[in-house]
Structure 1
Amino acid sequence: MDTDSHRSHADLLATYRRSCPSRTVIEVLANKWSLYVLAALRRSPGPLRFSQLRRLLDGVTQKMLTQTLRALERDGLVARTVYPTVPPRVEYSLTDLGHAAGELTTAIADWAVDHASRVHAARAAFDARPEEPSPL
């Protein structure tokens, strides 16, 4: 697919197809923990250890953080550096590609902070509506 910012409408629609290579990239980036990991690493002044990331990302399990970091590393967004110490020290940082993706995730996080009250108000209004009959 063309990297030009003026993609055709057909090219943009193709990204929704299962066969489109960009779809798997979008799926990794759209994962909630991927967004948080990329944003945390982007906002950090330096590399972070696994335990530091886990403390920052309230609610993430060890298994989910491991899976997320592996997926991001596999896609070239996160670099994993192992230091030969006892016990071994492992640090995670963003690659150049990860910095570019991190800009997007940080923008999403900033938007969420700026608009959370409006989203919560919309949810409350929706939840207060009378239930509509289900279609037959």
Structure 2
Amino acid sequence: MDILKILTKKYNKAILFLLEKYGTLHYSAIKKSLNNVHDHLLTKALDELVEAGLIKRELENPNIRPSRVLYSLTDLGKMALNIYSIAKKIEDSRIKVIGNNNIIINNVSSSNINIKK
């Protein structure tokens, strides 16, 4: 399983950040936080994250049917979030946009680069 590929998917990344911020969440809370994403997309993203070991899935009370499902970060999931933080710091230190069409990468200046916002 390619962890980097999993981490770059839109909903996967959002789910990891939600669980980091709020801790353990029910399926419905995750869905609501993601602006009511379609069930099949959310289920696919959650299953992928569970399979990769980035989050864990638990039943709130397995003796009651239907049982509510809880999701939380694993230690591996917390490490994955550190990857985002480190990558952001590297990117912020490498690239500086000056004006509308000038960019500096690693202290090498280049002009007339179109930057789409």
**Residue of structure 1 aligned with 2:69, choices 79, 86, 90:** 90
Flag the structure with higher strand content: 2
Question: Which residue number in structure 2 is paired with residue 68 of structure 1?
Answer: 45
Q: Does 1:29 align with 2:22?
A: no
Report how far residue 61 of structure 1 moved.
Answer: 1.4
Q: TM-score, normalised by structure 2?
A: 0.67
Partner Cα separation in structure 1 for residue 83 and residue 20 of structure 2: 10
Report how far residue 54 of structure 1 moved.
Answer: 0.5
Q: TM-score, normalised by structure 1?
A: 0.58
Report how far residue 59 of structure 1 moved.
Answer: 5.2
Partner Cα separation in structure 2 for residue 34 and residue 56 of structure 1: 13
Q: Which runs of 5 or more structure 2 residues have no equivalent in the other structure?
A: 90-96, 101-114
Question: Number of matched residues?
Answer: 92
**Residue of structure 1 aligned with 2:116, choices 118, 123, 129:** 123
Partner Cα separation in structure 2 for residue 70 and residue 78 of structure 1: 9
* Cα RMSD for the two superposed structures: 2.5
User: Which is worse superposed, 54-63 or 32-41?
Assistant: 54-63
- Deviating 4+ runs (over 3 angstroms): none
